[in-house]
Structure 1
Amino acid sequence: MIPSEVSTTSDYTVRDQQRMSRAVNYFEWQARLAMAPLGRRIVEVGCGIGNFTRMIADRDLVIGVDIEPACITEHRKRFAEYPHVKSHVLDAMDPAFLQLKDEEPDSVVCLNVLEHIEDDLGTLRAFASILPRGGKAVLMVPAFMSLYGPIDKHLGHYRRYTTKSFAQTARAAGFATPVLRYMNAVGFFGWWANAKVLKREEQSEGQIEFFDRKVVPILEKLENAMTPPFGQSVFAVLEKR
């Protein structure tokens, strides 16, 4: 099982994202889901040190934003030779975020970040504000409050979602919801065990490496063939109305 997100403490965030970047198969699975609906001009909210940015660096414009200065410092170093990849220390709820509309983005991507933000509705409304009609917002969020446990609390998660609860918030923000699905059914059980039985606050590298190498390649194929009725995460493609 792979964690939904990392600590919001900046030093730990950089260190943990570097550690998690070794979960190659899992991140590539997420990336394949997220990249397909994205356009050519993308705002990445919660870009961290750029683990996903590298997957979309071939687009015409990528603007990475994050609230952690340490992450943006690493992001800028990583993409210093990519003039079309920009980085800003910026909160989506900051009025300055709305100025990104001037860059004419056609997509917003936000992977495993919204659960860290208290005002999720306001944040989705900010996404809608910078997009044209028909623009896409692609998100990954953790699923099911019944799985909420010490890891979520340690990571600063305000909530977990169902497809129904996420759809309600997205529609209130001005989006249609053409794609809402669960992913990572095996991770559901692993997260439950860590949260409810083992009471862990974080996962071991052994868990991460085993899941990534042995489980993900098979699980991705199975879930591509048949969408699971539950999962560790909710994957969403939203379209601005």
Structure 2
Amino acid sequence: MQDYSYIGAELELFSQAYNWKNYYGNLVQKYLQGRVLEVGAGIGATTEFLCKGHQKEWLCLEPDPILTEKIDLKISVGRVPACCKSRVGTSADLASNDRFDTIIYMDVLEHIEDDRTEVKTVTQHLSDGGYLVVLAPAHQWLFTPFDRAIGHYRRYNKQSLASTIPRSLNCIQLIYLDSIGLLASLGNRFVLKSKTPTKQQIQLWDKVMIPLSKSIDPILQYSLGKSVLGIWQKQS
């Protein structure tokens, strides 16, 4: 894994999407207990928002050693709680006796070519009664050159995401998020056709569209959105 280098350039661009991270963070926070494994932790931007420090352990698993160094720096200066640890590698590198109460993939599973094998492998490290949390970009018909440029193999709908999950896990929640962002993505996909969002576009989305989506999504019963969120629990 030392030779792995992440090809995307969007991590810093989206790292300050505070409203978005707080939005989905509030929906998943109650499941982030005990020992947490964050697969594909990147530069630790999501860790900063989601880890509140009450967890027994929070393991940031990241295959890119350069990105892992950035996580280590955040740990050393206290930008993330002391319960956080980092490790270079993937789920295949976990010890056979590694067990976690919650495993999360936050905009990561779409970067993994064989997603079914990935989820099957990681589920073996989930404690009985533990939770698997997946956030991913929604709708293959929104797939753009930007997706391809940052290493996405696919986008998901609820059905395709659910099909990757082993039957030993029960679905707790499966919803779409960011209905307003979906409209913006449609505009970009078919009108603007820009290959890469600008910093200004990200700020507009995060500061204006996300608060609107946060209000409108529940009214729409989370039936529309440009992201899909799934939560599953392993049977005891």
Give the TM-score, by structure 2 length: 0.88
1:101 to 1:221, Cα distance in 2 relative to 1, 3 A: farther
- The one-letter code matched in structure 1 to 2:83 is H
Percent identity over the alignment is 26
Find runs of 4+ consecutive structure 1 residues off by over 3 angstroms.
8-13
SS of 1:179 mapped into structure 2: strand
The match for 1:71 is 67
Q: CA deviation at 1:10?
A: 3.8
Name the CA distance, whole Å, in 2 between partners of 1:114 and 1:83.
26
Match of 1:141 in 2: 136
Q: Deviations over 1:174-208 (max 9, x none)?
A: 32212101111111122222233333221011111
Q: Any gaps of 5 or more consecutive residues in structure 1?
A: 1-7
Q: CA deviation at 1:19?
A: 3.2
The match for 1:177 among 161, 171, 178 is: 171
Structure 2 residue corresponding to 1:40, chosen from 31, 34, 40: 34
- DSSP 3-state at the match of 1:18: helix
DSSP-derived class of the 1:134 partner: strand
Contact 2:181 2:213 in 1 (8 A): no
What amino acid does structure 2 have at the position aligned with 1:148?
F
Q: Which residue is 1:5 aligned to? A: none
Are residues 147 and 29 of structure 1, via their aligned partners in 2, closer, same or farther at CA, if it must alter by over 3 Å?
same
8 Å contact kept, 1:115–1:160: yes
Map Cα deviations across residues 61-107 of structure 1 (whole Å, 9 max, x no partner). Answer: 00001111111000011012554211011122x2x22x1743x3100
Structure 2 segments unaligned to the other structure (5+ residues): none
- Specify which of 142, 152, 156 is matched with residue 157 of structure 1: 152
Q: Which moved more, 1:208-217 or 1:187-196?
A: 187-196
The Cα of 1:9 is off from its aligned counterpart by: 5.5
Moved more, 33-42 or 191-200: 191-200
Question: RMSD in angstroms over aligned alpha carbons?
Answer: 2.0
Would you say 1:219 and 2:213 are equivalent positions?
A: yes
Supply the distance in 2 between the matched residues of 1:120 and 1:133 (Cα, whole angstroms): 22
Alpha carbons 1:112, 1:142 under 8 Å: kept: yes
Whichever residue aligns with residue 73 of structure 2, its letter is K
Greater shift in the superposed pair: 221-230 or 105-114: 221-230
2-structure distance, mates of 1:178, 1:25 = 24
> Aligned letter for 2:215?
K
Q: Does 1:106 align with 2:106?
A: no
Residue by residue over 1:6-37, the C-alpha shift from the partner in whole angstroms, topping out at 9 and shown as x without a partner, is xx954864xx4233222211111121122222
Q: 1:137-173 CA deviation, whole Å, 9 max, x = no partner?
A: 111011111111111111111111111121122145x
Q: Report deviation, 1:124.
A: 0.7
Q: 1:78 is matched by which residue type in structure 2?
A: K
Aligned to 1:52: 46
SS at match of 1:78: helix
